[in-house]
Structure 1
Amino acid sequence: MAFDLASLRAAMARHGRVTRVVIAATHGSTPREVGAMMLVWEGGQSGTIGGGALEFELARLARAQTAPRRFSRHVLGPEMGQCCGGAVEVLSEVYTAAELDAMADRPVIARAVSPKGEMPLAVSRLIAMERAQGILPDPQMIEGWMVEPVARASRALWIWGAGHVGRALVEVLAPLPGVQITWVDTGVERFPEHIPVGISVLPAQDPARLVGHAPREAEHLVLTYSHALDLELCHALLTHGFASAGLIGSATKWARFAKRLAGLGHAPDQIARITCPIGQPALGKHPQMIAIGVAAEFLNPALNAGTKRRSSFA
């Protein structure tokens, strides 16, 4: 877990005042680990610290919070009526845009949970270790100071297409930590009204022209409304380069695409890098079923193992 500045900034831009609630310490059996967090605003929230009575109560307190920072301890059994026998210490914070800007270049965010005192030596050592060796600390509370690494996207995922499957994929994949999703389609009207926090939306009349702007280490999922556009995107991706690429389609569609891509000058071993169909066909054709299968492969590429499976996705 890490401090996701981008998601917090996006939530504030959309909802105004947002309270970030993070588990600072745990004792005994608890629903979530240190660093688990949620963002709370009037009328909504995102993320989770474990659900149930604890989350409900802390969300209520967050909406009523007037101070910039609030620290509290909660015993889950006697206080919340939860079966977990442990206790949690929770830090709830409200930031300004200026404060987030000031933290933008920090790899580690450390702050006192109560009125500020001198930074403890143990915290200073963690920060120095990151500067000297690039080693990020785990989220933890040390001598009254909360320490969290700043979230950095380690994987870039481009999703081409905002139809039913594209929307289902974004809903499933958006909450994953460490993933920066860029979502492309031919017009703004193709996207849903509500976009998950942290998603970069790029409407473009000619999506294939955007392929050149994707990092060569990016991963791609191609699932537009048009087979012709799908083919154009596959051609552009093979020309540009990618870490991985998946195409929604049937075995028949893939056979035709492979032949046409060969005709465009791509070698068989390069064409074979595109996975088609995506997901787990045994799960079914419903958009959410496809999304679940694709997400499983995204989290565990060994499930795919580079093989081409037969499917009737079209």
Structure 2
Amino acid sequence: MEVWPRIEAMVEAHGACALVSVVSAVGSTPREAGTCMIVRPDGAFHGTIGGGALEWQALARAQAMLARAERATMLVDQVLGPDLGQCCGGRVALAIETFDRRDRTEIAALAAAERAGPFGTAIDRPAGGRTVRRILKPGAAPAAGMAGERFGERPPSILLFGAGHVGRALVLALAPLPFRVVWCDSRPGAFPAAIPANVTTTAASADAVLAAAPAGAEVLVMTHSHALDLDIVEAALMCAPVAGVGLIGSATKRARFARQLAGRGVPASRIAALRCPLGLPGIGGKEPPVIAAAIAAECLLIAEARTKAAVAPVRGRRPTRSRSS
């Protein structure tokens, strides 16, 4: 979630806001350490630390701090079962801090760093005082005895080719999910007037879009033309940064494309990586929103599997945690 640019905007628009951060999470907890939520003085908020009584009490504490113009960071340590009656069974430590227009310089520096990409901070939370942050140089770690934070981590990228009925429904299905979507269609007037915040549209050629693809991007192909689909699939399968390629259609379409791709010299190992049909199996509806929901769910499963595969060699087995309580 975007943190410091949103804090910057909230302070400018509302005069103040509070940041609620999960400092640590042990056992079965709704959200992991590093999760945060930004609260306005009127109680409106962005993000979530997991819902339930934990979040409700954190919102009340944040609003009370804002009403008192309290500057010191509040630290809250709660065992979810005995303290809140939540059945998760874990333990969560929260930090609640407020910002107002006096903090513009600090907020602006952090917002600029986040807009530039992922970055880390070294933090110090003195008892009874305000949290102090120092932006770390790339690759640097906090000094011994200091905690650290990470901001600006980019969600997985999806390159979506085609703005037809399913493409439009899929963009809406992906709108609230943790993906960055590049939506591609060269036809005039192909895109609707309203575009979700996590979507960027482009009329550039497929070659140009793929040339700029970030590492690990997922390509989904569903244009108005099977011939164009074939060209894009071929280019995507041979594009090094692309992690996966999906094609809308039936098993018959996939078999036909496999023969044509082989005739164009695409290696069998790359053709085998093509996913078609798209979407979770067992969902049989053919309405565009139903197809979109199945594809969006499949994208989530793929992204989570890749994340687990990436962190497993470094962190070992990840602890099990609940999604809600």
- Relative to the length of structure 1, the TM-score reads 0.65
Deviation at residue 188 of structure 1 after TM alignment: 8.2
Report SS of the residue matched to 1:50. Answer: coil
2:242 matches 1:238: no
Q: Aligned letter for 1:97?
A: A
Contact 1:166–1:223 (8 Å) recurs in 2 = no
Aligned to 2:313: none
Aligned to 2:58: 58
Aligned to 2:315: none
- Mapped to 1, the partners of 2:223 and 2:60 lie a distance apart of 41
Q: Which moved more, 1:161-170 or 1:80-89?
A: 80-89
Aligned to 1:73: 76
- Mapped to 2, the partners of 1:8 and 1:38 lie a distance apart of 8
Choose from 101, 106, 113 the match for 2:125.
113
Aligned to 2:247: 247
Aligned to 1:183: 182
| Identity of matched residues, % | 30
- Mapped to 1, the partners of 2:270 and 2:36 lie a distance apart of 42
Report SS of the residue matched to 2:93. Answer: strand
Aligned to 1:309: none
Q: Aligned letter for 1:171?
A: P
Report SS of the residue matched to 1:283. Answer: coil
- Mapped to 1, the partners of 2:117 and 2:295 lie a distance apart of 38
Choose from 146, 165, 172 the match for 2:170.
165
Q: Deviations over 1:40-98 (max 9, x none)?
A: 44675443212012213323544562456632426557875545675633233546223
Report SS of the residue matched to 2:278. Answer: coil
Contact 1:29–1:87 (8 Å) recurs in 2 = no
Q: Which moved more, 1:89-98 or 1:243-252?
A: 89-98
Q: Deviations over 1:131-157 (max 9, x none)?
A: 3xxx799xxxx97x6522345448544
Choose from 6, 9, 20 the match for 1:11.
6
Q: How many residues align?
A: 273
Report SS of the residue matched to 2:282. Answer: helix
Give RMSD over aligned pairs.
4.3
Contact 1:136–1:149 (8 Å) recurs in 2 = no
Using a 3 Å threshold, how does the CA distance of structure 1 residues 52 and 205 change in structure 2: closer, same or farther? Answer: same
Contact 2:221–2:247 (8 Å) recurs in 1 = yes
Q: Aligned letter for 2:110?
A: E
- Mapped to 2, the partners of 1:73 and 1:243 lie a distance apart of 41
Aligned to 2:150: 149
Contact 1:280–1:294 (8 Å) recurs in 2 = no
Q: Aligned letter for 1:149?
A: R
Q: Deviations over 1:2-22 (max 9, x none)?
A: xx6xx2245357765664321
- Mapped to 1, the partners of 2:192 and 2:8 lie a distance apart of 19
- Mapped to 2, the partners of 1:216 and 1:117 lie a distance apart of 35
2:114 matches 1:97: no
- Mapped to 2, the partners of 1:270 and 1:29 lie a distance apart of 40
Aligned to 2:293: 288
- Mapped to 2, the partners of 1:298 and 1:118 lie a distance apart of 34
Using a 3 Å threshold, how does the CA distance of structure 1 residues 118 and 63 change in structure 2: closer, same or farther? Answer: closer
Structure 2 segments unaligned to the other structure (5+ residues):
100-105, 307-325
Q: Aligned letter for 2:49?
A: I
Deviation at residue 219 of structure 1 after TM alignment: 3.0
Using a 3 Å threshold, how does the CA distance of structure 1 residues 55 and 163 change in structure 2: closer, same or farther? Answer: same
